[in-house]
Amino acid sequence: MKKFLFLFFITTSNLTHSEVVWYPSPVEAYKLGEVYPEAQRLLFAFDYGHALVYEKLMLKKGDIKNPKDLEKELLSKVFNILNNPPHIKMDEGDIAPNYVYKFPLIINLFDWSHMLHQYVLDVLATSEDRGPLMIARINELYEKYKSNKSVMITDECKSMLFMDGHYFSKSFRRQFPSFNLLIWSYHWFQIRLYEDLLFPTKMERDVAVAKTIEQFKYLISDLPDSAEFEMMPETAIEAPSFAKIFPKIPAAFDNNHMLHDIVSDMITSDKVPTEKLRAEALRMGRMAQDPEAFKTKKCNQYNEYNK
């Protein structure tokens, strides 16, 4: 009986969530933190903040009587983290067990994609070569990302309707406008770093990263007014040089960011009852992987619309 229970536990826990591993870990992994510790700690804080908010919203699902008050409470918790960001990456399972249980596929998609985000930044921050070798190394990491199809978010451009075109869409942004703008500010910060780290000299990169950290602090200084985003920031617009050198990576990142908004909307929308959440999350995760779903030739770049 004990053996049976043990086997049952092992089997079901694997069904609930199995972690993705990037093996072997790149030699540059997490070296960004050695060069730009403040930026790296903020990135760790964002992961922590995302997980914390998802968990709180999961626990309150269907019982949010006063979104304004809840938003205030959530913001105060997250600002505590942002003001004292962690030095290491936190495990989402420790912070947000309910969220991890309901969104197993999406968590794996995020993990795999976040590893690519992180390692690209690590290479950009530390590569001695600032030309072909650095570009080749990032492309090598990107090939590795693409090789794991079961957890890869597609790099085909999706229109914003992927984020906003569902029956539950815009729920989070309308109930929690400040928090939504905080998340868009996170996304802006992440993608802006790609552009900053492309500057040829260390001095220029230092200045650019310092400026982005300052701008990020300004963006979140008086939410919602301080963050003037009217739509989710997009990689090719905020990091145009990066998008030119690595034309497929921006869409993979933007699709990841849109999927974050989709998760927030599903959790907060009354149209997605708790018992439907896991199935809908799987459906949305598959959609994020599907290169044909919401595919656009416009690549979400508004300058493209002029062509």
Partner 1 sequence: MKNAKLFLISLVFVSLSNSVLLAADTASVTLGKVVELGCHRLERLVTLGKIDESFLTKINSIQITKLQPTKPTDPSFKVVVTQYSGADGTANQVDLMMDANGKGIAQTLRAGADAQNAPVWNDKDAVSLVENSLHYIFESNDSEIKLFVTGLSYLRLKQVNNDRGEKSARVQMNSTDSSKILEITMKEDGTVESANTVNP
- Closer residue to partner 1 (CB): 95 or 208: 208
Handedness of CA 214, 178, 265, 291 (dihedral sign): negative
In the complex, least distance from residue 270 CB atom to partner 1, rounded to whole angstroms? 14
DSSP lists the bridge partners of residue 104 as none
| Of positions 77, 170, 217, 278, contacts partner 1 by CB under 8 A | 170
- Closer residue to partner 1 (CB): 81 or 163: 163
Is 66 an interacting residue with respect to partner 1 (CB under 8 A)?
no
Subset of 271-300 contacting partner 1 (CB under 8 A): 296-298
In the complex, least distance from residue 241 CB atom to partner 1, rounded to whole angstroms? 8
Q: 108, 20 in Cβ contact below 8 A?
A: yes
Is 23 an interacting residue with respect to partner 1 (CB under 8 A)?
no
> For residue 4, what are the contacts with CB-CB under 8 A and spacing of at least 6?
none
Is 72 an interacting residue with respect to partner 1 (CB under 8 A)?
no
Number of residues that bind partner 1 (CB under 8 A): 32
| Of positions 118, 154, 169, 235, contacts partner 1 by CB under 8 A | 169
Cα R_g (the chain), whole angstroms: 19
In the complex, least distance from residue 172 CB atom to partner 1, rounded to whole angstroms? 11
- Closer residue to partner 1 (CB): 94 or 230: 230
Which region among 39-47, 140-148, 171-179, 243-251 touches partner 1 (by CB under 8 A)?
171-179
Subset of 128-167 contacting partner 1 (CB under 8 A): 159-161, 164-165, 167
| Of positions 240, 245, 290, 293, contacts partner 1 by CB under 8 A | 240
| Of positions 87, 203, 275, 292, contacts partner 1 by CB under 8 A | 203
Subset of 183-202 contacting partner 1 (CB under 8 A): 199, 201
Question: How far is residue 20 CA from its own chain's centroid?
Answer: 16
Is 207 an interacting residue with respect to partner 1 (CB under 8 A)?
yes
| Of positions 224, 226, 278, 282, contacts partner 1 by CB under 8 A | 224
| Amino acid letter for position 197 | L
In the complex, least distance from residue 279 CB atom to partner 1, rounded to whole angstroms? 19
In the complex, least distance from residue 18 CB atom to partner 1, rounded to whole angstroms? 34
Is 67 an interacting residue with respect to partner 1 (CB under 8 A)?
no
In the complex, least distance from residue 20 CB atom to partner 1, rounded to whole angstroms? 33
Residue whose tokens read 């794996």: 108
Give one DSSP letter per residue of the chain, joined into a string: -HHHHHHHHHHHHHHH------SSPPTTTTTHHHH-HHHHHHHHHHHHHHHHHHHHHHHHTT--S-HHHHHHHHHHHHHHHHHS--SSPPPHHHH-HHHHHH-HHHHHHHHHHHHHHHHHHHHHHH-S--SHHHHHHHHHHHHHHHH-GGGPPP-S-B-THHHH-STTTTHHHHH-HHHHHHHHHHHHHHHHHHHHTTSSSHHHHHHHHHHHHHHHHHHTTTTTTT---SS---HHHHSHHHHHHSTTHHHHHHHHHHHHHHHHHHHH-TTS-HHHHHHHHHHHHHHHH-TTTTB-SSTT-GGGGG-
What is the contact surface with partner 1 in residues (CB under 8 A)?
A: 159-161, 164-165, 167, 169-170, 173-174, 177, 199, 201, 203-204, 206-208, 211, 224-225, 230-231, 237, 240, 296-298, 302-303, 305-306
